[in-house]
Structure 1
């Protein structure tokens, strides 16, 4: 995982402080979107590398967060995040996705 201060800190809203991030592709009906999942003290963000306008970004408030599940083999994994009445699937390095999911758990259940 990438430590605080790397990646897209300029695209986070003012006042948000990055805890950790992981490189991931969002998989959805529009295809594959390369980007980064970023954990902050209050939210989880997916920031799409190709659309700085934010049109393919996700913002997941911790209050509505319902869960994270990682599946995969030794190299490629998927992370399913659920919140409110929504959910998204992200693909990336299995070990890094598991570490990101653990960081979410640590943040929400200290």
Structure 2
């Protein structure tokens, strides 16, 4: 996990400051989408690296967030995010996804 992401901050809306970032693939009915998850003080973003126009990005507002769970083995993990919308599932490095979930927990439950 990258703390205070240096990735591509130009994809964040003005005023949003990254807290944590992790490379992840979104898994959905359309297949696998490579990208990255970014935690900010107000939202969780998934930026799809294949569609740079933002049409396949996810934006989860903290007020609509309900929970996160990480499962997996030593190498491949799955992060499931629940919110007042469809379940979002991301796959990546288990250790990095756990650290990202801890950052979410720290941000939402100080």
TM tier relative to shorter chain: over 0.9
Q: Which runs of 4+ in 1 moved over 6 A?
A: none
* Count, aligned residues: 110
- Give runs of aligned pairs for residues 48-87 of structure 1, distance below 5 A: 48-87=48-87
Distance in 2 separating the partners of 1:94 and 1:100: 10
Structure 1 residue 4 corresponds to structure 2 residue 4: yes
Distance in 1 separating the partners of 2:5 and 2:70: 25
Structure 2 length normalisation: TM-score? 0.97
Distance in 2 separating the partners of 1:29 and 1:5: 29
Distance in 1 separating the partners of 2:3 and 2:108: 19
Gaps of 5+ in 2: none
Distance in 2 separating the partners of 1:40 and 1:34: 20
Q: Could you say what secondary structure the match of 1:100 adopts?
A: helix
Distance in 2 separating the partners of 1:72 and 1:10: 32
Distance in 2 separating the partners of 1:37 and 1:79: 11
Would you say the 8 A contact 2:5–2:21 is kept in 1? no
In angstroms, what is the RMSD of aligned CA positions? 0.7
Distance in 2 separating the partners of 1:37 and 1:69: 15
Instruction: Kindly provide the CA deviation profile for residues 41-88 of structure 1, in whole angstroms up to 9, marking residues without a partner as x.
Output: 000000001111111100000000000000000000000001103211
2:23 equivalent in structure 1 = 23
